[in-house]
Structure 1
Amino acid sequence: MAILLKPADSLPASIASSPARPAPWVAAWARPGFRLRLGAVLFLLLGLLPVVPGFYHFIQARPGHLLADPLLALLPVHDVSAPTFALIYGAIAATLLYLLPRPQRLLRALWAYYFLQLLRMLTLWLLPLEPPTALVILHDPVMDRIFEVTTQPIVRDLFFSGHTATMVLLTLAGRGRKWRWALGLMSVAVGLLVLVQRVHYSYDVLAAPLFAWLAYWLAGRITKQQPAIHESTLV
């Protein structure tokens, strides 16, 4: 039986004439603007590492104001550290796996995280607060080691909730309705859990999505001039 092979010139023009698209990271790295923005944000994030512990110890040593919070009073008080950080670190791992093959989205997420840290340090400096009276210490397996909170827990880092804002930022960095719905529900859960733990006022949690959106918007302004990279084939 004869096997007929179509010559290349008989193939559809969209197939015959389309050059093979380079891998997203190859295409991204070929652009000087991408390399510059990526290097800059990594440099800035690394620059925060020696600054952040001292800043938070300063926040902890400074007295603040105790706030009335009727909404917080309606919730029970429990130690929910384990489910809180299971959700947070699970969401971080899943989002990183999603973003790593998508350099342009990863770049925006990194810039957004950097801006989020700056915004939070600014609001903490401007608004010294005392934690709610029924506070239960939140044990973070990662941050406890960074800030050595076994001897001095950091509990005055209140406005705004960094845990909730990080979850919202992860939600914004993803794509797809199911993905965002899942991370959105996880963000709500983390917001409720930190209130149950009494490590935040309800004001801290309610304000967190606004600051996460602002950080993501600012990151978009930084990265918007970057030429589009073909990531649409990655679902």
Structure 2
Amino acid sequence: MPHLIAASNSVPAAWQSAWQQAAFRYRLLITLLLLVLLVANLPHFFAWVQARPGVRLSDPLLALLPAHEVSWPTFIVIYISAGLAFSYVLPRPYVLLRLLGAYWLMQICRIMLLALLPLEPPLGLLPLRDPIIDTFIYVSAGPITKDLFFSGHTATVMLFALAMGTSQRRRWLLAATAVVGFLVMVQHVHYSYDVVAAPIFALGCYWLAGWWADPAANELA
């Protein structure tokens, strides 16, 4: 019982200590503002991406996988991963700041690459149904199918894994990253190239976000 009390007291103490630092306050507020602006503008961007013509790629690996509807398993894995990640990072303010910053950077990378690489969706695509994202972000008359390079779902779960430090949860979330990458290919909502590239971009964005979050103060335990 004393250990539980000490642990519960350490959470507000960590936030109190971080909040006393002006640099942390400003960076957290700026990051949250950037995320709000990002979410507010994504519907217009994806409507533009969806409307323009693109190139359909040849993907021998994807051609070996018959298309199946696996939206439910995909989002069960994603949302369980999100729960595991945020239960870990919320008591760790600098880790949370780094994760949020990395997610914003990852989305900016995707926006730039989607703008530069107009693609048509893979053959056999079955639209991925996300009850949260489809309702609040990808608001459109029809499904978004040209949101391709790179896989945001796979990269997001990879970011969750990276934020776990050296904990046991990292291994679980690395496995979840592979599962999500495989499932979005099974549903043919992404090329294999999109999935392979996703962890690479996630690693780069998480590394860059370490500078923004001040890694000297970053709790890695």
Shift of 1:47: 1.2
**Aligned equivalent of 1:136:** 126
Shift of the alpha carbon at 1:177? 4.5
Q: Kindly state the Cα deviation for residue 178 of structure 1 after the two structures are TM-superposed.
A: 2.0
1:118 aligns with 2:108: yes
What is the correspondence of 1:50-69 to structure 2 with a 5 Å cutoff? 50-69=40-59
Q: What is the deviation of 1:48?
A: 1.2
Structure 2 residue 143 is the aligned partner of structure 1 residue 153: yes
Residue 218 (structure 1) aligned to one of 208, 214, 218: 208
CA distance in 2, matches of 1:219, 1:198: 31
Tell me by how many angstroms 1:228 deviates: 2.3
1:45 — aligned with what? 35
Are positions 1:167 and 2:135 aligned together? no
Query: Number of residue pairs matched?
Result: 211
Partner of 2:14: 24
- Runs of 4 or more, structure 1, over 4 Å off, are none
The secondary structure found in structure 1 opposite 2:150 is coil
Q: Secondary structure at the match of 1:158?
A: coil
Cα distance in 1 for partners of 2:37, 2:67 equals: 37
CA–CA separation in structure 2 for the residues paired with 1:224 and 1:34: 9
Q: What displacement does 1:93 show? A: 1.5
1:198 counterpart letter in structure 2: H
- Deviation, 1:143, is 1.4
TM-fit CA distance, 1:119: 0.4
Q: Secondary structure at the match of 2:55?
A: coil
- Report Cα offsets for 1:99-131 as digits up to 9, x if no partner: 110001001001001101100101100100000
Say if 2:43 and 2:139, in contact at 8 Å, map to a contact too. Answer: no
Residue 7 of structure 1 is matched in structure 2 by: none
What secondary structure sits across from 1:140 in the alignment? Answer: coil
Partner of 1:105: 95
For residues 50-73 of structure 1, what are the alpha-carbon distances to aligned partners after superposition, in whole Å with 9 as ceiling and x for unaligned? 211100010000110000000111
Cα deviation for residue 158 of structure 1 reads 0.3
Q: What SS is found at the alignment partner of 2:129?
A: coil
User: Which of 214, 217, 221 is matched with 1:228 structurally?
Assistant: 217
Q: What is the TM-score of this pair, normalised by structure 1?
A: 0.85
Displacement of 1:224:
2.2
Q: Which residue of 2 aligns with 1:83?
A: 73
The alignment's C-alpha RMSD in Å is 1.8
Q: What one-letter code is carried by the residue in structure 2 that aligns with 1:152?
A: G
Residue matched to 1:185: 175
Identity %: 50
Amino acid in the other structure paired with 1:31 = Q
Match of 1:208 among 195, 198, 202: 198
In the alignment, which residue of structure 1 is the partner of 2:189? 199
Q: State the shift of 1:180 in Å.
A: 1.1
